[in-house]
Structure 1
Amino acid sequence: MHFCITETAPCRTTIRSMSSIDGAPVMKAILFDTFGDADVLQLGDAPVPEVRPSDLLVRVHAAGVNRADLLHRKGAYGRADFGDSAIMGLEIAGEVIEVGPEAQGYRVGDRVMGVVGGGAYAEVARIDWRMAMPIPAGLDDVQAAAIPEVFVTAHEALLHLGGLTDGGTALVHAGASGVGSAAIQLARASGATVFATADAAKHDRVKQFGADRVIDYRSEDFAAVIADRTGQRGVDVVIDFIGAPYFAKNIAALAHGGRLIQVGLLGGGGEVGVKLEDILYRHLRIIGTVMKSRTPAEKHAMTRRFRDHWLDRFARGTDPTPIVDSTFPLARAADAHRRMESSANVGKIILTIGGKD
């Protein structure tokens, strides 16, 4: 379940026809002239992106909000073009309105979702066809926009890099977050026992995602809980978004041959300490992964691995399922950012960008 935050009752509005300036088509998009807090985000006009040979041009109906967007707004990436657009936003769901001459497998009118290199906070975005996926039958655009970034990231960390298998054990930090909720579902669907950390107020929801034991990160020592629940063995895989504050306990929580997959640094980076004997004699692996800095070929492979493994299961309506916390119209992107910054959300925050003509 999710709730809708709008100025009027409907969650969707009718998208207007594209306007033009001096004959060039423009669209509505979220822009910001300066870096800063959420108030810098404003709805304005931007050029409609041109289709490159390998692109699909997509009428965006919904876009996911990610913590990388908050960093973008604050200036962490400067004014970089991430491959598709300098406009904010990393994941979209919508309808194909134009197909580049080298794109394969898609036609005008197809419903698609996927990760983009910028440009999601807009009425139209372009996406490399190898990053696009068909929206599974039975899912609406809001649900579809809650899938690409978090589930591709979770699959890559948990299964491809982490090597989690049926009968294994995993610890997922930030279990109520977008990637956290996705990782819990994928771990559970893979036959693993799942531990997760979350604020106490969110424990019931995190259990619904499939966690066998939810640990209150404020009042419990997660390494001690895992040692007790696993008979001192530890877990096979740790998925961590926090960073330096959790590093030592993550190492302590790993089983012999365990893998720590570092996905984020919400709690801070910098230097950490570890006994090399632990790495050596316990056969541990520490692996970092950030999707944004991957090469295009690596991103294509990540998308393909997730699609091949999981997309049919979304179409069947079985586990996993997208978790939507709330929706905001595009013009209220600043409010969507404020909700994410409050850490009140459970699952994905989605921007809605009108409906089909």
Structure 2
Amino acid sequence: MNDRAPSPIEEPGVPPRVGRVRDASVNLAHGSGGRAMRDLIEDVFVPAFDNPTLAALEDQAVFGLADLAAHGDRLAFTTDSYVVDPLFFPGGDIGTLAVSGTVNDLAVCGATPLYLSCAVVIEEGLAVDLLRRVAASMQRIAREAGVAIVTGDTKVVERGCADKLFINTAGIGVVRSGVAIAARNARAGDVVIVNGYLGDHGAAILVARQQLALEADIESDCGPLNGLIAAMLDACPRIHCLRDATRGGVATVLNEFAQSSNVTIRLREAALPLREQVQGACEILGLDPLYLANEGKLVAVVPADAAERVLAVMRAHPAGREAAAIGTVEPGDAGGLVVMQTVFGGERIVDMLVGEQLPRIC
């Protein structure tokens, strides 16, 4: 979060003081690289994220290689940016998205997520209290996932040059030994599994934008999946494919698997776990729930002989209670294909999403 070295008049080793920021909203001085920016960092972010590595306020975080190697034999590194509209929605906010999304991107390759960075681009005029709420959400999810936010950056842009707040999080994790998860690994006979209801996040954003009045509440499924994935890998280290189904939804993930592995994936429409409210909203608006974004859902392709074992451990975990097998993998050609067996007994092609159903969702 720090873009400069401490000034000579600042005593090194003095812990940051909460309450330095007296302004109700962020102004351009908070991105100037001077005292106002340091005050914002020490008042808002350092106490929220609360770890010794970040508190040093260096321009980088340093880790011992031996500590990393204790978790596995390969390093995983990812980054993502979050521009959701609105910033707060039922079940989460941009902060929960930023941490959960990066944790999940690490976990789906079999990595144990360990450290995150946080870079924020703040529009002039954003309320400081709102920024505190976002930082608190980030730390809550980081604690739940067992990761530390250890470094970052702060920028402020003029009013009208951004949409309130953008966040980038990058993450480092270590892949456990013996795990080889990749989109190209699907094999004929494998079973396709999801960990619960699909499309909740996309529908929650729809409701938060007041584009559709629904009597029943729909909340985002935003949350970290690394605990669930660790349990799945304990049950079956041979998981072939694994990915979180964010933008583009389950349909896009499955098309990526099918194309990379050159197989056909056959889904059963009757097996798809969908909330009645989500399905109803999609029918009214002409949306397909398979393309709605999720922020706490994964798609796994596992060997058939391990499917029931994996499902059992998923259903025993809070993030996988509604886990379901939704399809199978068959020999394929023509570069890979996803086919849906409909409830009426017919079939249809499930293609990759072209364009977007909903803008600015994660």
* TM-score, normalization by structure 1: 0.27
Q: Which has the higher strand share?
A: 1
* TM-score, normalization by structure 2: 0.27
